[in-house]
Structures are given as structure tokens and as C-alpha cells.
Structure 1
Amino acid sequence: MSRRVFAAAVLGGTAAVALGGCSSGAAGPPGPSAKETGDGGVDEEEALARAYTFLDRRVDEAAGGARQGLPRSYTGGWMERHHSTVAFTYDVALTVIAYCARGNETDLRRAGALAGTLLALQEGDAAGDGRIRQSYASGRVTAAGGLPAVAAAGSFTGAQAWTGLALLHVHRAAGGTPYLAGARRLAAWIQDHTASATGTPGYTGGLPASGPPLTWKSTEHNIDVAAFFRRLADVGGDRAWADRSAVATGFLDALWDAEGPAFWTGTGTDGATVNRSPVPEDPQSWSFLATGEARHAGSLDWALDHLAAEDGGFSGVSVSDADTSKVWFEGTAHMAAALRRRGGDGDGERADRLLATLRAAQADAPNADGYGIVAASSDGLRTGDGDTLYASLHTGTTAWFALAGLGADPFLLDA
């Protein structure tokens, strides 16, 4: 169910592709320690620039072959020791969106190259139906016409929607009909394979690598679909996608607990029975980022209160209420971005504190390199859905930090 799940196949060194004219990705000087800044903080502009340098290095080490390869999601720590060379599609999409958000010439070149590989993977997929897979092998693709190998063959709804959002961001930033056409194919796949009127109308989890379709519905996935379909309607002018977005938004309304106030996780396999455990962070922050609905804005306060976590001198939020013993830095960036968008009394200060935590983590968290940001404040953070997160440098977390630092909302095309 989680888009964060570590691929079962841990692949050895593979090959991937070229982005002409980019930096070599050679190691630079170490980043500053938070202690070196004197006031316990790290310069905001420098920290943001270093985050993009980290993304550049991951992208560029997968360049230089016949096609731009995909950047590995995790570096260092537990994940490095277990030889992970997996590129999660969600992380690739976030990296593309982060590049579009800053939007300089080199950023857009890298974003376009990654988006081109995603389009090629969609076009070359064995199913031939417009889907994308959950993860792929990272690294350079040296064979002419070659593509990154599939690592995890499931096609979950959230990954389809995030890939579609990434393609729309590139389309908006750089133009090009192939990106819009690819986004439309992904949207059609979601509609054809996951739309369900059973129980609470909405969108189901997608297709596993094998076996029958997933019949549970995730609040997180429906947020992704609501935003993707709404943006597709805005760009393409097709009212049908706005109507379908409203179905996903209706699912969010049904999973809203006004007494919380918070969003429940989703439904069971019957598509109707509400799943109340664990309660994750991302629906609380993503819902506001995606919809801007004031009536649901209290979910941010619920997350700050119920998912607060402290560990190793860092403070932020955790993945879910199943384990608040460690800080989930990606979710902490979600919250900073959402608070900045909400803009209520004290929200700016709260967001600044969360961003200061992320800058400190960039400098001093376990396995920090001064550039990227690790997934968790220490190893062993349980998500509550069977996964575990580690203090390994993570492209997805770093991209979210970049977006929050810029005040950008990945669910929108104009912010």
C-alpha cells in the first residue's frame, strides 16, 4: 500500500543514461555542520543550493549512456550496505517536480531528460496499456534503445498519479506535447483500472505485480488522483477529468473525521469499511496542499500534535501514529510546505522551525553528507504498514525539502 515500500528485488550495479553537458557528480567539499554556523542554524540559501547539488549528483551519476537513467532513491547507511540500486518512481517524479519548481536552464534540462525516460518506460512497458511500474533499476543505461529494468512490477495508483503530475510540470515549464500525451495515458490507466463505485466511490490501490487487482482505497492515493486529474483538466481543457477529480475529492470528504480533526487511512478490501489504524501523516498535509480546503485545514494541527517526534536532537513529525520514536524528515518537509500554504497565525514560524530541523539534519543527521537529507533521524522507524525507514540519504526527502524551502506546492502547476 505504501509508496515508500522497499523493492523486494535489490539489484546489483546496472546501467542508465546520458544528460549531455551536466556536471560530473564528483564529490565536493563536505557541508557545514549546524554547529559551525554559530546560532545552531544553517544558511537557508546555501542549504537549498546544497540540496539541489545532491539531486544533481544522483541524476548525473545515472547519465552518460544511451538514455538518461534513473537516480537511485537511497544512498549511504543501511540501504547502501544492502546494495540498493533501486529508483522508486515516486522519488523520480518528485525530483522532476523539484527541478521544475526552481526552473533554471540546467534544472529544466535534467527534468526533461528524466521525464523522457519515464515516457520511454511507459511506451516500452510489456503491458502496453499506459502504466508505469513502482520502481526500476537505477544507474546508466548503456545499450542503445535500452531501458532501466523493472525492480518492483506493481502499478500502484499513487505512482501513476505522481508520474502524471511530473509530466504536467515539465509540460507547463518547457512545453512539448509528448509530456501531456503521457499524462493523459496515465490518467486513462487510473480511470480504467482503479475507478470504483463499490462502497465509498473513489480509486482503488492499483495492480500488484501478480494476482488480482487491489480493492482497498487509500486516502493518500485519492489525494494524488484528485490533484492529478484536476491539473490535467486545467491544462487539457477536458471537463471529464475535473468531474473525475471530484469523485476522488468526495472520497476524501468521506474519510474526514471532523472530531479528529484528521483523515483516516482509507478503506478495507470491501472499499467501504474505514481503516483507522495506523493514521499516517501524508494525508493530513497532502490534503491541504492538493485541495486548499479550509474546512480540512485542521488536519495539519492534528498531525503536529499527534505525530510529533523527537530523536537525536531533531524535532518534527513521524510517518504515522504507529511509531513516533523517530523523526520522518520527508513528512516534516510535507508539513513545512503545507503550513506555508495555509499561512495562518503562527504558521510561518512553525514552518520555519521545521525547515530549520531539516537544515540541521542535512548537516548533522546520521550518514549526512551536508547535501542530501536522510529519510529518518535514526534507523528502524516503523511506518505501521509493514515497512521500516532508515537514516539513509533519500532523493524524495531532499526533493520535498527543496520544494518546501522554495515555498512550492507539487500538487499545483503555478507554485
Structure 2
Amino acid sequence: MPSVVTAALVAAVLAAAVPAVSGAFAAADGSTSGDGAPDPSRSVALAYEFLDARVDQFCDGAGRCLPRSYEGGFFTTPSWDFTPSFVYDDALVIMAYTARGLPDDIRRARTIGDALLFVQENDPIGDGRTRASYEPHGIRQGRVEITGPGSFTGNQAWVGMAFTRLAHTTGDPRYLDGALRVGQWIHDNTADMARAPHGYTGGQLEDGTSLTWKSTEHNSDVAGFFTQLAQLTGDAVWADRAAVAAGFVAAMQSADGHVNTGTGLDGSTINTRPIPLDAQTWSALATGDPRYGSALDWTLENLIATDGPYTGPSISEVDVSKAWFEGSGHLALALRLRDGAGDAETAETLLDSIRLAQRDAPNGDGKGIVATSNDGLDSGFGDLYYASLHTGATAWYLLASAEDNPFVLPVDPAS
């Protein structure tokens, strides 16, 4: 079991370490809102324009839309155009729209939500699951074309949180029904109450094979999603299930504060490498537990990359040569919400670097946010990330700018 990080210890660490880290950020980046970075409000408006164009590009006659996730650079060449829409990204775009909440924002959020309901209802298995990604050309033709057939727990939870956000914002019961179907699928197919630490496993492959490992990221997602279901339904069983997922996340915290990635195939042995950023930031965002303040401090000390004019976290400790702007968004949000000594300044440095990338990064368009500061960032999990425009990175930037935590339902729903 990990050692318990007390609130007093977190406060002491923050007081001693974060201002120094923030100062190092400013020196390394050399770019703040007073030193050439774009105006924040204009930057946000341009980012929404980027999402608007992506959402409106692939819609069917019934008004259902799915935006492609990546465009440009590695993903768009004279011989290849990679257009799939990843449901994780789609969920984030929905949440970014509800964060601003203009009438057209809610309309577009609903077009994506309706597309996700459509693919859920028309899945070939039809048990409430959704898949990792879909072809938006198929949606435009009124059909479901699955491009990523896996049914992974984290993706399911993000779709569920998109549905709960829409249910909360619009009052439309269809979205809550969809969320409940997702939640029940997760519990029925991935709950592991036999192998300690108890929690939720990785989901299923296309052929129905169950993934036996447990992921900190996935359990953070489930904790946030099931808490929202408990709030919307008043059913305490969802709160109990959320507590199981949160307990798994707590069991993954190490003595130095960082949170490990999860378990091996046996569902019990802790997998200590790589150490991913999202296990640190999402643990804090999904649970609101101050114990993860030390995970944020560990992140600032170990995962920050400087790549030319850009500064931000990497995906894991395996490669800290480039900034991962999606991660910059959720780290900035976690720091803003923690609001400890130096957090606001460090978060603003991260956001300024995203704004510089929006304006100047390779393969950008001046509106959307590219995934990484340059091509070839090694995640540590067997894949590379590229400097291509990304709906998910853009949405995380907007959520951080609005201080809107996607793991938590807003206090006041948009009208």
C-alpha cells in the first residue's frame, strides 16, 4: 500500500517547491502574455472556431455530427488522410462546448451527443457499449462505421461523462439513459472485486477477450463518471461503485507521491513503469482528494519538457523532449483548481505556451491546438504522438481556460 500523503505535508511541499518550479518555467519558456503570447480571450475564440469547423464537417441529414480527431502533418498527406473520430476526443469537445454554453455551442454539443447515442444504439453487439473510434464519413452517410473496435473502460467512461454532462445541461432524458447503459456495461464487464486492489479492468477487445489489467487512468475516469451518475439518479449504488474505483487509484500512489500506471495482467501486481502524466492529473481532477497534490508536484519536477519556445508536460517520463499540449491543458486545469502557492503562475505559463503553439507550431492553422510541440513524442506505451491539429488537445485547452473540470458536473447548468 502507498504511504498516505497528509494535507500538511502537501502544503509544506507546495510552499517550498512550487514557486521555484514556476520560476524555472518562466525562464525556460521566455514567453508570457506580456512577452508576445497571443491574447487569451482571442485565443479561446479562435479555438472554438476550430472546433466549430470540425463538428460541422461531418453531419448526417438528422443533424448528428462527429468531428475527425486529427488533421494535418503526419495524419494528412497526398496519399493518406486519417479521419477517424475518437470517442474520448468527442466527449471532450462536448464538454468544451457546455463550458462556454452559447446557444450554438449547446446545439453542436448535442449533435455530437446524438451521434454517440446513434452508434451506441446501432452497435453490432448492442449491449450499451461504444467503441474506441468511428469513421465520420460513415456518420455523414447515416451509418455506423467502426474504426477502433475495442471497448475500453476509460473510453466508455468518457462517453458516459459526455452523456451526463448533456443530461445535466439540457434535461434531455435520452442522454441519462445512454449514460446508464454505459455505466452498467462497465460494471457488468469490468468490475473486479476478487483481485485486490479492487477496481475496474481495461475492458474488452474486438473478439470479446477481457483485458485483465487495471489502469489508474481508467479507474479515475470511472470514479468521476459513477459519481456523476449518483448525483443525477440519486442511486447510492453508483456512489459505492465510484468509491471502489477511487480506492484503486489511491492504492496506486507511491511513497514519493506519484501515481503508478496500474497493474499487470494479474490485476494485482503494480506496474511501475512508465509513469504517465494522466495518472497524476486525472487522479486529482477525478477525486478532488488533496493527497494527489504531491502527484502534481512530482509532475512539475519530473515530466516537464522544453522544446524551443514551448514548455509543457510530456506524456510520461520515458521521453521528456517535447511538450504534449493535451497534457498541458489538464495539468494547467489541475493546478488552477488546486490554487496552491505558485499554481496560478505555473498554469498561466502552460496556457501561454499552448497559445504560442496555436499561433506558431508546425502544422497549425492559427486556431486549433496541435497534439505535440514536434513530431515523434514517445508515449512510453508503444506509440508516437505528432504535431497535428487535435480536437482533444483543443478541448482540454478550452476546459482549462474556463476552469471547468470534466470529471465534475457544473454547479449551474446552461440554459
**Structure 1 length as normaliser, TM-score?**
0.89
Q: Does 1:127 align with 2:125?
A: yes
Q: State the secondary structure of the residue aligned to 1:262.
A: coil
Q: Does 1:43 align with 2:45?
A: no
Deviation at 1:211, TM superposition (A): 5.2
Name the counterpart of 1:399.
395
Name the counterpart of 1:159.
155
Deviation at 1:312, TM superposition (A): 2.5
Name the aligned partner's letter for residue 319 of structure 1: I
8 Å CA contact 2:69–2:85 kept in 1: the answer is yes
After TM superposition, the structure 1 = structure 2 runs for residues 259-278 of structure 1, keeping only pairs within 5 Å, are 259-278=255-274
Q: State the secondary structure of the residue aligned to 2:137.
A: coil
Deviation at 1:41, TM superposition (A): 1.2
Name the counterpart of 1:376.
372
8 Å CA contact 2:65–2:140 kept in 1: the answer is no
Q: Distance in 2 between matches of 1:237 and 1:147?
A: 35
Cα shift readout 1:72-110 (whole Å, capped 9, x = no counterpart): 000100011241011001001100111111111000000
After TM superposition, the structure 1 = structure 2 runs for residues 11-410 of structure 1, keeping only pairs within 5 Å, are 39-63=35-59, 65-81=61-77, 82-139=80-137, 141-143=139-141, 146-197=142-193, 198-210=195-207, 212-257=209-254, 259-410=255-406
Q: State the secondary structure of the residue aligned to 1:271.
A: coil
For structure 2, the 5+ residue unaligned runs are 1-29
Q: State the secondary structure of the residue aligned to 2:382.
A: coil
Sort the Cα spacing of 1:254 and 1:221 in 2 relative to 1 into closer, same or farther, 3 A: same
For structure 1, the 5+ residue unaligned runs are 1-33
Name the aligned partner's letter for residue 131 of structure 2: R
Structure 1 runs (4+) deviating above 3 angstroms are 64-67, 139-143
Q: Distance in 1 between matches of 2:95 and 2:138?
A: 21
Name the aligned partner's letter for residue 108 of structure 2: R
Q: Distance in 2 between matches of 1:139 and 1:38?
A: 43
Cα shift readout 1:292-312 (whole Å, capped 9, x = no counterpart): 111221111111111010113
Deviation at 1:66, TM superposition (A): 4.3
Q: State the secondary structure of the residue aligned to 2:247.
A: helix
Sort the Cα spacing of 1:168 and 1:211 in 2 relative to 1 into closer, same or farther, 3 A: closer
Cα shift readout 1:24-46 (whole Å, capped 9, x = no counterpart): xxxxxxxxxx99x9831110000
Cα shift readout 1:3-52 (whole Å, capped 9, x = no counterpart): xxxxxxxxxxxxxxxxxxxxxxxxxxxxxxx99x9831110000001111
Q: Distance in 1 between matches of 2:389 and 2:175?
A: 29
Deviation at 1:154, TM superposition (A): 0.4
8 Å CA contact 1:314–1:357 kept in 2: the answer is yes
Name the counterpart of 1:10.
none
8 Å CA contact 2:139–2:145 kept in 1: the answer is no
Q: Distance in 1 between matches of 2:119 and 2:34?
A: 48
Q: Distance in 2 between matches of 1:348 and 1:224?
A: 25
Sort the Cα spacing of 1:208 and 1:346 in 2 relative to 1 into closer, same or farther, 3 A: same
Cα shift readout 1:317-350 (whole Å, capped 9, x = no counterpart): 1000111111101101111000000011111111
* Range that drifts further, 219-228 or 404-413: 404-413
Q: Sequence identity, in percent?
A: 50
Cα shift readout 1:199-241 (whole Å, capped 9, x = no counterpart): 3200000001125200000000000000000011011100000
8 Å CA contact 1:376–1:391 kept in 2: the answer is yes
Q: Distance in 1 between matches of 2:377 and 2:268?
A: 29
Name the aligned partner's letter for residue 51 of structure 2: L
8 Å CA contact 1:65–1:141 kept in 2: the answer is no
Q: State the secondary structure of the residue aligned to 2:46.
A: helix
Q: Distance in 2 between matches of 1:299 and 1:91?
A: 24
Sort the Cα spacing of 1:236 and 1:41 in 2 relative to 1 into closer, same or farther, 3 A: same
Sort the Cα spacing of 1:134 and 1:369 in 2 relative to 1 into closer, same or farther, 3 A: same
Name the aligned partner's letter for residue 402 of structure 2: L
Q: How many residues align?
A: 378
Name the aligned partner's letter for residue 177 of structure 1: P
Deviation at 1:148, TM superposition (A): 3.4
Q: Distance in 1 between matches of 2:308 and 2:137?
A: 33
8 Å CA contact 2:133–2:149 kept in 1: the answer is yes
8 Å CA contact 2:59–2:140 kept in 1: the answer is no
Q: Distance in 1 between matches of 2:390 and 2:348?
A: 21
Q: Distance in 2 between matches of 1:270 and 1:102?
A: 43
8 Å CA contact 2:58–2:140 kept in 1: the answer is no
Please identify which structure carries the higher helix content: 2
